[in-house]
């Protein structure tokens, strides 16, 4: 009889101990979850607003903010740049020598932002970097990039932002998003736009209106 009571007493103590351990574990897990969530939120905030993404913001600024006279004069209105894209050997002249110097200076700047693939794609092979530059300059408008956030993924950085198109005192705002494909050094390989919210269509509409006004 005494042994049974002792056994019951041990069982009660053991049960109490296990319950206490369980409660402690739940409390610790809850605390750890709160800490983890807090740290995750901090990391998210850092991801979206950290200074480490300033270079990527500069790339998007070059892409969306127009007109950029340095880009246009060096890559679009330059005979030297045109010869490079066409694979032609530029002729020797004082004017082309100046254009070559400007081209090399811009290339050095862009090499801090773009990898070899990016330099080839956006500077040497074609004028993709001027997608918005040329038409915004042509219609006499202006674009401004704002409210950009970044989220890193494997081998890329996703972005979201807004571009404001200003023309004849009126403004329209468009949501833009996409990702920057990166090389192993974190330099940009490609700018992959996943939508401009109708920005290009709005520019084309203004261009068409201008043509119609000139023809009347």
Does the reported pTM lie above 0.85? no
The tens digit of pLDDT for each residue in 156-188 reads 999 999 999 999 999 999 999 999 999 999 999
Instruction: Write a three-state SS string for 184-209.
Output: CCCCEEEEEECCCCCHHHHHHHHHHH
pLDDT band at 33 (very low <50, low <70, confident <90, very high): very low
186: left (phi over 0), alpha (psi -120 to 50) or beta: left
Q: Identify whether the C-beta of residue 181 lies closer than 8 Å to the C-beta of residue 188.
A: yes
Domain assignments of the chain as residue spans, ordered by start = 52-215
Q: Is the pLDDT of residue 147 over 90?
A: yes
Confidence of residue 197 (pLDDT cuts 50, 70, 90): very high
Task: Please give the Cα distance from 166 to 140 (Å, whole number).
Answer: 9
Compute CA distances 102 → 74, 138, 168, whole Å: 6, 22, 32
Model confidence over 46-75: pLDDT tens digits? Answer: 444 567 799 999 999 999 999 999 999 999
The CATH classification number of 52-215 equals 3.10.450
Cβ neighbours of residue 96 under 8 Å, at least 6 residues apart? 79, 80, 90
Least confident of 6-15, 50-59, 200-209: 6-15
* Among the ranges given (113-127, 139-153, 188-202), the one the predictor scored with the smallest mean pLDDT: 113-127
pLDDT for the residue numbered 93:
87
User: What is the per-residue pLDDT across 78-127, written as a single tens digit (0 to 9) for each?
Assistant: 999 998 888 888 778 888 899 999 999 999 999 999 999 999 889 887 77
Helix (H/G/I), strand (E/B), else coil: 44: helix
Using DSSP, state whether 93 is helix, strand or coil. Answer: coil
């Amino acid at each position: 009889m005494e042994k049974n009571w002792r056994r019951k007493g041990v069982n009660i103590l053991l049960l109490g101990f296990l319950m206490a351990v369980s409660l402690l574990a739940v409390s610790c897990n809850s605390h750890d979850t709160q800490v983890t969530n807090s740290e995750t939120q901090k990391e998210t905030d850092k991801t979206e607003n950290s200074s480490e993404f300033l270079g990527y913001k500069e790339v998007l600024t070059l892409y969306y903010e127009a007109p950029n006279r340095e880009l246009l004069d060096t890559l679009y209105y330059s005979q030297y740049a045109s010869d490079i894209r066409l694979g032609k050997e530029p002729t020797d002249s004082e004017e082309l020598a100046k254009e070559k110097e400007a081209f090399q200076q811009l290339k050095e700047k862009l090499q801090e932002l773009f990898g070899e693939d990016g330099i080839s794609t956006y500077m040497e092979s074609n004028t993709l970097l001027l997608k918005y530059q040329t038409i915004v300059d042509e219609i006499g408008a202006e674009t401004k990039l704002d409210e950009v956030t970044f989220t890193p993924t494997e081998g890329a950085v996703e972005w979201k932002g807004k571009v404001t198109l200003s023309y004849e005192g009126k403004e329209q705002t468009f949501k833009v998003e996409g990702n920057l494909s990166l090389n192993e050094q974190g330099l940009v390989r490609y700018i992959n736009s996943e939508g401009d919210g109708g920005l290009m269509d709005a520019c084309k509409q203004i261009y068409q209106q201008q043509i119609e006004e000139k023809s009347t």
